[in-house]
Chains A and B, each alone.
Chain A
Amino acid sequence: MDKYVGAFRAGIAAANEVHESQREIDTVLREFSNALERATDGRLRVAITESSFLMSAIEDAVIAASAQARPKGKRLSLAAINKVNGKSFEMAGWRQGKSAYPCWLIFRNQDIACTDRASLEVELARLAASPDVGERILEVLK
């Protein structure tokens, strides 16, 4: 039965790796949210929410194209939320597979697969610095 011991250990190690990656992603997103709170005097925070609209015309086309199209998973987005009045806007689409990485950010006509912590941090910084997001932050703060 020794042959199964190795197999079990490999499975457990793989699961631990996924959990560790997910914890890392959660930490990065928490830091991102904290930064938005600091930048807006504690009025806005970031959350992953179920998307209320289709993320792109391409997804729109996929849905429209087929009566069989039934989204299996929820479409998620990275949203900025006003903590006082609940107003929010979707900064980017968000997608993740079962193995944590890559996690996908979808914005400005780009599907970006972040394969590690460094790449996620770089892309979130790029998202935060985009004038579109700045404009929407001002709207939600009103």
Chain B
Amino acid sequence: MANLDQSPLQGEALGLAWWNTSLSPNAKPGRAAAPDHAHAVDVLKAMIASGVSVVGLAEIAVADVDELRKDPEIGAWLFTEAGRPVGKSRFDTCIAYDPARFTLSEEKEVIGRRGRRRLKVAQHFAFDLSGGVGALHVFVSHWPSRLHLHQAAPDRLVYAGVLRGAIDGILELDQSAQVVLMGDYNDEPFDNSMSYGLLASREREYAVKKPGLLYNPFWRHMASIVHGGACSPCSDKGTYYYAGGEIARWFMFDQMLFSQSLLGIGGVWDLDDSLTRVYAANGLVESVLRSKSIFDHLPVVAHLKRVK
């Protein structure tokens, strides 16, 4: 077995991102026009240039993937099948990754059943990392909007409970499994589904100390003023903009959550909190604020640093 303490890969970075692209919601497939695809390509290429190697995507269909992959740089990436059917509906999520860094070892669907209803809880992708140690489990989710499932609807806790059950299935086999959750949950970090349902803590130190807790670094990105500097970590306004919001217009619906083993204590990877941000470059904020634009979500990005 290799001596991890002397790994030449120590210091290597691994960027992850999540973006609800808004290109093809299940209710409005194929609504994106050529300029929308061009904009999406610009955003993805900028994220790749910043070190991102895997991106979870939502509201995206096969035709959109085909358009995006016409760009040579994005065409060199691999995309999992978009729009996988589940009963009469389909997942509107997929994952894109750099094959130089990742090998996809398996994909599964996590489905909750309540009576005859199927809840599309998550897609589970297991990756082998080149030069990495152990599999990286990525759960990609797009939960129903609050228009279709009210903020207080009990099913929101069912979504969370089923996803937590799937994660427990992995952590029961290996408490040090490397697990990342990413998605547009249409709930904020403080909502019961995200905090109590998924057992996701705002406190990194506590998530390190208490087995089973996940760490949600996106608690800090719910401020109305973007601030940051040498003395304080950056915070952002949120990811989803709804001009008609009753008490706020920005919402932190898009998040990434991390298992204990990705927080640097005993594991190979350490989440760099200072780089866990809402991605607000490439004119995307302006697009999100423009009422006629199809884009209404900003991506989120996170970077792991190899410590062994």
Interface residues of A (CB under 8 A from B): 56-59, 61-63, 65-66, 68-69, 71-73, 95, 97, 102, 104, 109-116, 118-120, 122-123
Q: B113 and A112: CB pair below 8 A?
A: yes
A116 to B154, CA, bound (A): 14
Which residues of chain B have a CB within 8 Å of any CB of chain A? 105-117, 121, 124, 126, 128, 133-135, 137, 158, 161-162, 165-166, 168-170, 172-177
Contact B116 A118 (CB under 8 A): yes
User: B177 contacts A66, CB within 8 Å?
Assistant: yes
B175 pairs with A58, CB closer than 8 A:
no
Residues of A within 8 A of B165 (CB): 97, 102, 104, 113
**Pick from A61, A73, A113: contact of B105, CB under 8 Å:** A61
Instruction: Kindly identify which residue among B108, B126, B170, B176 contacts A68, using a CB–CB cutoff of 8 Å.
Output: B176
Q: Given the complex, which residues of B lie within 8 Å of A109, measured CB to CB?
A: 106-109
Q: A61-B126, A69-B173, A109-B109 are in contact. List 11 more A-B contacts (CB 8 A).
A: A58-B108, A63-B173, A97-B165, A110-B109, A113-B113, A115-B113, A116-B114, A116-B115, A118-B115, A119-B117, A122-B116
Partner among B107, B169, B174 whose Cβ is within 8 Å of the Cβ of A69 = B174
Closest residue on chain B to residue A118 by CB atoms? B115
Min CB–CB distance B77 → chain A (angstroms): 22
Bound Cα distance A114, B158 (Å): 11
B102 to chain A, nearest CB (A): 13
Given A102-B165, A111-B169, decide whether A68 and B174 contact each other with a Cβ distance below 8 A. yes
Asked if B113 and A110 sit within 8 Å, CB to CB, the answer is no
Considering the complex, give the chain B residue whose CB is closest to the CB of A114.
B113
Q: Write out the residue numbers on chain A whose beta carbons fall within 8 Å of the beta carbon of B109.
A: 109-111
Q: Is the CB of B115 within 8 A of A62?
A: no
B112 and A102 contact, CB distance less than 8 A: yes
Determine the distance from Cα of A72 to Cα of B212 in the docked complex, in whole angstroms. 14
CB distance from B137 to the nearest CB of A (A): 7
Determine how close the nearest CB of chain B comes to the CB of A5; give it in whole angstroms: 27
Inter-chain contact B106/A66, CB cutoff 8 Å: no
Q: Can you name 7 A-B pairs with beta carbons within 8 Å?
A: A57-B106, A65-B174, A66-B174, A104-B169, A111-B109, A113-B165, A119-B113
Q: What is the interface of chain A mostly: helix, strand, loop, or mixed?
A: mixed
Q: Is the CB of A73 within 8 A of B172?
A: yes
Complex interface: chain A residues within 8 A of B173 (CB): 59, 62-63, 69, 71-72
Q: Give the Cβ gap from A57 to chain B, nearest Cβ, in Å.
A: 4
Contact of B106 (CB < 8 Å), options: A61, A72, A104, A110:
A61
Residues of A within 8 A of B162 (CB): 102, 113, 115
**A-B pairs with the 7 shortest C-beta distances?**
A119-B113, A65-B134, A69-B174, A61-B135, A57-B106, A113-B162, A118-B115
> What is the minimal beta-carbon distance from B130 to any residue of chain A, in angstroms?
15
> CA A29 – CA B173 in complex, angstroms?
26
Q: How far is the CB of A40 from chain B (nearest CB, A)?
A: 27
* Nearest CB in chain B: distance from A62 CB, A: 5
Residues in A whose Cβ lies below 8 Å from that of B126: 57-58, 61
| Cα-based distance from A15 to B112 in the complex (angstroms) | 24
Question: In the bound complex, how far is the Cα of B110 from the Cα of A83, in angstroms?
Answer: 33
A19–B152 alpha-carbon span in the complex (Å):
29
Q: For residue B134, give the distance in angstroms from its CB to the closest CB of chain A.
A: 4
Alpha-carbon separation in the docked complex, A71 to B173 (Å): 5
Residues of B close to A112: CB separation below 8 A: 111-113
Give Cα A58–Cα B109 distance, bound, in whole angstroms.
12
A64–chain B nearest beta-carbon distance, Å: 8
Least Cβ–Cβ distance between B80 and chain A, in angstroms: 12
- Chain B residue nearest to A112 in the complex (CB): B111
With a CB–CB cut-off of 8 A, which chain B residues contact A123?
113
Complex interface: chain B residues within 8 A of A95 (CB): 169
B111 to chain A, nearest CB (A): 5
CB distance from B94 to the nearest CB of A (A): 15
